[in-house]
Amino acid sequence: MSAGLKKMILLPFLCIMLSHMAAGQECSNQCSCPSIPPQCPPGVSLVLDGCGCCRVCAKQMGELCTEKDLCDPHKGLYCDFGAPINRRIGVCTARDGATCVFGGMVFKSGESFQSSCKYQCTCLDGAVGCVPLCAMDVRLPSPDCPMPRRVKVPGKCCEEWECDSPNRHSFMGSALASYREEETYGPDLSMMRENCLVQTTEWSACSKTCGLGVSTRVTNDNRECRLEKQSRLCMVRPCESQLEQSIRKGKKCIRTPRLSKPMKFEISGCTTTKSYRPKFCGVCLDGRCCTPHRTTTLPMEFKCPDGQFMKKHMMFIKSCACHHNCPGENDIFESMYYKKMMGDMA
């Protein structure tokens, strides 16, 4: 069969398939949504569909889209329908934005890629953001596994937990060392409950050095004594804040500046219902970097464009420390340069 004949046969078939797909994506007067929202892959946003009906996984760059199946708005994608006549099926395309250079390769704004088997990354207007593909859980000591530690498994990318023999080390020494970046505060005998030794890790470093990021910790401080991961929003400093101009004459650093005017925080188009005057970590002129030292955690309420409200916890800085233990250039996975944050168990 000639190539021309194959095209003549496949083209009508493809048109019929696209027509059926478009018809299935039109909005109806009645919503019918699954009781449990879909679990989206790492880095894919869960959004309200174009009908304002159900929460769905947003379409990604290069995927087919419709007025119902929206492209990922958090990556600056939009549905390109091409010719004005065709307003039923389009392709997700990135809006104009700065490209990203990562590992010697150039990525367009809105383009996703895997930096390694452990991270899924996205370029967004010149900035690279990544989410882990491996489990980031922390295993607390328990009677059946008093000394957990992560080990590299041959043939697998992600490390897995294994239990050390209790005869090799003392309980506290090996168990607490296994947490690496997230050290525990316990155990504290005053925190003993029936069949439960309550333990909580420290909050991890903020995922971003400027702008809104995320900090996490692990605890079993609940009724079931079950291990759970908690998260909070954090902002070490605003991006493009030009804090160097605020350093006084004769000084090398501005350590913990506070905004002169109240501000509202914004995440994914949702804005806090109240205004705040938070403290931030400043900058130095002698090569040191300033990071949070004492923090507290407070609840915040956000109002979204669709009228819905959501509550998030937010890190508020009490004081910062300036030091030379700074990350290397372009090391977006480095978080060990943060000094230990003290006095925040909220």
pLDDT digits over 236-253, tens only?
988 877 777 778 888 888
Beta-bridged to residue 322, according to DSSP, are: 290
Distance CA 157, CA 154 (A): 8
pLDDT of residue 136: 66
pLDDT of residue 331: 43
- Point out the least confidently predicted range of 104-113, 124-133, 293-302, 309-318: 124-133
Residue 42 has pLDDT above 70, yes or no: yes
pLDDT digits (tens, 9 = 90+) for 195-240: 677 778 888 888 888 888 888 888 888 887 777 888 899 999 888 7
Q: How many CA atoms lie within 13 A of 275 on its CB side?
A: 6
pLDDT of residue 165: 62
Beta-bridged to residue 100, according to DSSP, are: 107
- Point out the least confidently predicted range of 66-70, 117-121, 177-181: 177-181
pLDDT of residue 269: 83
Distance CA 128, CA 102 (A): 8
Report the pLDDT averaged over residues 114-120: 84
Spell out the residues 6+ positions from residue 162 whose beta carbon is closer than 8 angstroms to its own. 148, 149, 150, 151
| Two structure tokens written together for 193 | 């409950």
- Point out the least confidently predicted range of 20-24, 58-62, 261-265: 20-24
pLDDT tier, 194 (very low <50, low <70, confident <90, very high otherwise) = low
Question: How many secondary structure helices (H) and strands (E) does the chain include?
Answer: 2, 22
Q: Is 128 helix (H, G, I), strand (E, B) or coil?
A: strand
Q: Which of 50, 15, 57 is nearest to 34 (CA)?
A: 57
Contact 147, 164 (CB under 8 A): yes
Report the pLDDT averaged over residues 309-314: 90
List of long-range contacts for 48-51, beta carbons under 8 Å, 24+ apart: 48/306, 51/27
Q: Which of 100, 302, 322, 284 is nearest to 212 (CA)?
A: 302
Spell out the residues 6+ positions from residue 189 whose beta carbon is closer than 8 angstroms to its own. none
pLDDT digits (tens, 9 = 90+) for 125-175: 777 777 778 876 666 666 777 778 888 888 888 888 888 765 544 444 433
pLDDT of residue 337: 39
| Two structure tokens written together for 66 | 């419709």
Distance CA 262, CA 283 (A): 21
pLDDT of residue 204: 84
This prediction has a pTM of 0.47
pLDDT tier, 314 (very low <50, low <70, confident <90, very high otherwise) = very high
Residue 65 has pLDDT above 60, yes or no: yes
Contact 247, 257 (CB under 8 A): no
Residue 4 has pLDDT above 80, yes or no: no
pLDDT digits (tens, 9 = 90+) for 281-302: 888 888 888 888 889 999 999 9
pLDDT of residue 138: 65
Distance CA 310, CA 268 (A): 12
Give the type of residue at 148.
P
Q: At residue 20, what are phi and psi to the nearest 5 degrees? A: -65, -35
Contact 232, 212 (CB under 8 A): no
Cα 80 from chain centre = 27
Residue 273 has pLDDT above 90, yes or no: yes
Report the pLDDT averaged over residues 25-29: 70
pLDDT of residue 234: 92
Rounded to a whole number, what is the distance in angstroms from the first to the last CA of the chain? Answer: 71
pLDDT tier, 9 (very low <50, low <70, confident <90, very high otherwise) = very low
Q: Is 312 helix (H, G, I), strand (E, B) or coil?
A: strand
Quickly count: other Cβ atoms within 10 Å of residue 120's Cβ: 19
